[in-house]
Amino acid sequence: MNFTRWSARLPRTQRRTAARADRGARRPKPPAAAGGGSVPAARGEHADPSGRGEPPAAAPSDAAPPAAVPTLDGLSVHDLLSQVPALVAVVYGPEHRIAYLNDTYVEVFGSRAPGTPARQALPELRELGLLPLMDQVLRSGKPRTVKSRRVPAGGPATPPGPRREGTAPGPGRSRHGYYTFTCSPIEMAAPRAVAPAEPAGERAVDGSPVDGASREAALRKAVTTEAVAMETVATEAVAPGTTTGTVAAEPVRGVLVFGADVTDQVESAERLRASERLQREAAVTLQRSLLPQGLEQPDDLRVAATYQPGGTEAAVGGDWYDVITLGAGRTALVIGDVMGRGVRAAAVMGQLRTAVRAYARLDLPPHEVLQLLDGLASEIDPHQIATCVYAVHDPNENRLVYASAGHLPILVRDPDGTVRRASEPTGPPLGTGGWLHTTGSVQLGPGASAVLYTDGLVERRDKDIYDGVAALERVFAGATGSPQVMCDRLIRALGITAEHDDDVAVLVLQHPARTGHDAELFHNAALELLGGVEAAPRARAFASGVLASWRFPMELRDLGVLAASELVANSLQHGTPPMRLRLRRTDRRLIIEVTDGDEHLPRRRRAEPVDEAGRGISIVATIASSWGSRRTPGGGKAVWCEFALPAD
């Protein structure tokens, strides 16, 4: 039952009761059934208590008639409100003078003298911010509600001013509670006086004169208990000089304040929010632990990334990024987004990120890596999909080769500020299956930058996602500084705050244009090998001269020449033309690479004492810091090894 709506009509309860009684008197009574009993209910006429199909036994003629259905006509408004387990206060007039407080209100806040203004006698309403609301209700005639207002433990202090004799403040609550208060406009009829004001000189029954004090005492005694709280209303409603026997029945406007105890609901909601907060913190911790704790820093690129989980009301998502050094100066850059939220999405993200690193070590082309991820995503959870971009930067080619699985396009910024989209055809998201992804490429020369991002950076509920991409292009065109500075600027410029409703991952890379001393630390040298018996001596002589010109120590120079000789000999024996020897140095390592036209990748194996071959790769793996091989896009393979440079 909606007590708030029902209680707004309480002052007219007695009128409705009288009207029902009048209608009942005029309504004709139905004829009595034979035998003097009442007409049985339709359901009772066909009842068969025995269950054997026998007709029910006839009711005895002297059976008592059914009891009358109880009604509310015999209850007064005070009887109803005093038994309601909620706070009820009735006030009247512009000063919100007290007309009635029910027992629950008195138990919580203590009793108050009727007729006292609420601002003085009901400080709890002021502390709860209800007095301005009651003013609005009185002016507009429309109910207002405030939810979950906190009532401190023990209740407020005893209100100032005199109290009626025999009243005391309530004991208050042993713990704080929460109430939802509804203020409803009501109209109250002023109470009637029992007798008219006696003119001067009137005498009592015994002939003695009746003074003003006796007349006032008699009047108060005659007023009913329910009207005591309204004496002030009656006084204000009577015009000065009125001497009639009744007070004018002018309705008095007031407010009924109804406070429903919602402490259990609020505490349950708080416990639920605390549980959700703990779950979210666990998911965020899991998410961050699955992300790279520190980005690998390639020799030829500067990279930075940032991750920001969704706001406190949003569950953590499955965004991730990674930077993987592949060897021979090449770098893989990955960014992805698992659809869905919560711990499950973070767990799927962790599995995909681990798989990407494993597949990257195979040094496969980008589209083949996504093909493997697509099958794995279907096995992990067939009901979840993910988007991903896998890109590889090769400093020898100054290009970014990539494949996309339903992800947003990479943005590349040239040194002059022009921004381009890597918008070659892409495949569907991971986990959909049955699709061949393709590889595209975009130029990334010295001085250029690129940004990879998830949809949380550019997607808004009220805009198309490509409007957000266009906004990112405009911001990225003017972004300068280090990659970390650019990440922070993109986040701020696109309005990403701590309350953002989606995860955001951003990965920025720069291919710096080196000049001066930095340029002296990066060199490239290449030799085309035509084959024949003279190819190996030419390769050794070329490597020795280049390493000497780069001023490497003698020990490192000898190791480099030996590695170049073994790689060239292996290519001459097992590969096909065209063949090339490339030497490259960075500020941290020496890279030796040999390419040929055969796609068969070499493997390291144990050579038996009687074997005449099979020791070249083992020798290279022993003397070098690392080695590897991969297939080249145009067909063929590349075999490489690296030597770490001594620290200065």
Q: What residues contact 58, with CB distance under 8 A and at least 6 apart?
A: none
The pLDDT of 101-107, averaged and rounded, is 89
As a whole number, mean pLDDT of residues 447-454 equals 95
Query: Does 434 or 329 have the greater pLDDT score?
Result: 329
Asked whether residue 165 carries a pLDDT value surpassing 60, the answer given is no
Instruction: Kindly state the average pLDDT of the residues 197-204.
Output: 46
How many other C-beta atoms lie within 10 A of the C-beta of residue 470?
A: 13
Count CA atoms within 13 Å of residue 566 on its CB side: 24
Q: Does residue 358 come out as left (phi exceeding 0), alpha (psi in the -120 to 50 range) or beta?
A: alpha
pLDDT of residue 5: 40
- Sorting pLDDT into bands at 50, 70 and 90, what band is 532? confident
pLDDT at 213: 45
- Sign (positive/negative) of CA torsion 96, 98, 104, 105? positive
What sign has the CA pseudo-torsion 67, 69, 74, 79? Answer: positive
Averaged pLDDT, 513-523: 83
Q: Which two tokens stand for residue 82?
A: 């005093």
**pLDDT tier at 457 (50, 70, 90 boundaries)?**
very high
For residues 458 and 435, what is the distance between their CA atoms, to the nearest angstrom? 27
Model confidence at 139: pLDDT above 80? yes
CB 387, CB 399: distance < 8 Å: no
CA distances from 300 to 50, 503, 645 (A): 97, 29, 15
Query: What average pLDDT does range 85-107 have in this prediction?
Result: 91
Is 70 exceeded by the pLDDT of residue 514? yes
CA distances from 129 to 119, 154, 394, 433 (A): 11, 19, 67, 60
What gap in Å lies between CA 583 and CA 542, rounded to an integer? 10
pLDDT at residue number 210:
46
What superfamily would CATH give domain 69-151+177-188+251-289? Answer: PAS domain (3.30.450.20)
> With respect to CATH, is domain 291-511 assigned 3.60.40.10?
yes
Non-local (6+) Cβ contacts of 241 within 8 A are none
pLDDT confidence bin for 192, thresholds 50/70/90: low
Q: What is the mean pLDDT of residues 113-138?
A: 90
Residue 237 has a pLDDT of 41
pTM equals 0.63
Whether residue 593 is predicted with pLDDT greater than 90 in this model: the reply is yes
Q: What percent of the chain has pLDDT over 90?
A: 39
Of the spans 166-180, 211-225, 332-346, 578-592, which averages the highest pLDDT?
578-592
Annotated domain spans of the chain: 69-151+177-188+251-289, 291-511, 517-644
% pLDDT > 70, the chain: 74
133-to-136, 142, 463 alpha-carbon distances in Å: 5, 11, 38
Confidence band for 85, pLDDT divided at 50, 70 and 90: confident
**How many other CB atoms are found less than 10 A from the CB of residue 223?**
16
The answer to whether domain 69-151+177-188+251-289 and domain 517-644 are alike in fold is no
Contacting residues for 60 by C-beta, under 8 A, at least 6 apart: none
pLDDT, tens digit (0-9, with 9 covering 90-100), for 44-69:
444 454 445 555 555 555 556 666 67
Question: Which tokens is 635 given?
Answer: 């067909």
* pLDDT reported for residue 173: 54
| Burial degree of 154 (CB within 10 A; 0-12, 13-18, 19+) | middle
* Average pLDDT for the chain: 78
pLDDT tens-digit readout, 382-405: 888 899 999 999 988 889 999 999
**Helix (H, G, I), strand (E, B), or coil: what is residue 348?**
helix
3-state secondary structure of 453: strand
Least confident segment among 142-146, 248-252, 292-296, 482-486: 248-252
Could you write out the DSSP letters of every residue in 179-236? EEEEEEEEEEEPPPPSSPPPPTT-B-TTS-B--HHHHHHHHHHHS-GGGGGGHHHHHH
**pLDDT higher at 107 or 613:** 107
Which alpha helices (H) appear in 320-365, and where do they start and end?
343-361
CA distances from 218 to 196, 207, 301, 471 (A): 11, 17, 101, 84
* CATH number assigned to the domain covering 517-644: 3.30.565.10
Of these ranges, 147-156, 182-191, 236-245, 501-510, the one predicted with the greatest mean pLDDT is 501-510
How many Cβ atoms sit within 10 Å of the Cβ of residue 551? 7
Residue 491 reports pLDDT greater than 90: yes
Residue 245 pLDDT greater than 80, yes or no: no
